[in-house]
């Protein structure tokens, strides 16, 4: 399957709006997560080399390297999500009287959960880095840190829905509950972290603007 990330932004959005089976919500979440992570990385880029931030330069460079890895991994999930959806789409096309349909559909559904779950994990890692960049990075780029957190949270939430829509149809309810609980835990901890980053940035900017 073609890697949609190699298309232009306009092509990607047009493809996303079409009736093509992929990219869909999972691929969009991965792309948004990568963009949010890149914004965090930009904060680092605007911090290193400045005398004012010399004391934290090594830490910032380490965070930038981590963000660079996360950007690549999140972009890789765009194609991976599309590939993970193919078996599920094929499974739904199997005649309902086929005795193997239920088993094939179950396996395909489990596969379809894996990439959005991975996207969530990567977004959590991204938010950890963004949190520190928002605190210690250049004050001139603090709004970008807030934007990064907001986008990473959106990606986290969007990816979770792509897990939940699949776990609701799983026959193995114990596995479904395990996946759901993992998603809910990430949403609570890291969605909350994203909110705190955003609110801290917004309140700081609003106060300085005389609001």
In a domain, 74, yes or no: yes
Domain holding 80, by residue range, is: 23-208
Q: What would the pLDDT profile of 163-175 be if each residue is shown by its tens digit?
A: 999 999 999 999 9
In a domain, 12, yes or no: no
In a domain, 140, yes or no: yes
In a domain, 80, yes or no: yes
- Who's near 75: CB < 8 A, 6+ residues apart? 5, 30, 31, 34
In a domain, 119, yes or no: yes
Q: What would the pLDDT profile of 3-39 be if each residue is shown by its tens digit?
A: 777 788 999 999 999 998 888 999 999 999 999 999 9
In a domain, 8, yes or no: no
In a domain, 42, yes or no: yes
Structural domain total, the chain? 1
CATH number, domain with residue 137 = 1.20.120.680
| Residue 175 contacts residue 109 (beta carbons within 8 Å) | no
In a domain, 118, yes or no: yes
Q: What would the pLDDT profile of 56-111 be if each residue is shown by its tens digit?
A: 999 999 999 999 999 999 999 999 999 999 899 999 999 999 999 999 999 999 99
């Amino acid at each position: 399957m073609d890697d949609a990330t190699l298309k232009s932004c306009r092509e990607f959005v047009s493809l996303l709006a079409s009736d093509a089976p992929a990219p869909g919500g999972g691929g969009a979440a991965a792309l948004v997560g990568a963009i949010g992570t890149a914004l965090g990385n930009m904060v680092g880029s605007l911090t290193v080399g400045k005398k004012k931030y010399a004391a934290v330069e090594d830490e910032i460079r380490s965070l930038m390297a981590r963000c660079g890895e996360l950007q690549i991994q999140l972009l890789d999930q765009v194609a991976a999500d599309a590939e993970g959806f193919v078996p599920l789409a094929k499974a739904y096309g199997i005649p309902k009287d086929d005795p193997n349909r239920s088993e094939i559909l179950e396996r395909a559904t489990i596969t379809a959960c894996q990439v959005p779950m991975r996207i969530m994990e990567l977004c959590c890692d991204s938010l950890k880095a963004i949190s520190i960049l928002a605190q210690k990075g250049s004050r001139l780029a603090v709004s970008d840190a807030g934007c990064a957190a907001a986008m990473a949270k959106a990606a986290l939430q969007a990816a979770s829905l792509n897990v939940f829509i699949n776990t609701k149809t799983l026959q193995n309810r114990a596995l479904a509950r395990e996946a759901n609980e993992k998603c809910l835990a990430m949403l609570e901890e890291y969605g909350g972290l994203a909110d705190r980053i955003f609110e801290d940035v917004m309140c700081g900017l609003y106060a300085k603007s005389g609001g």
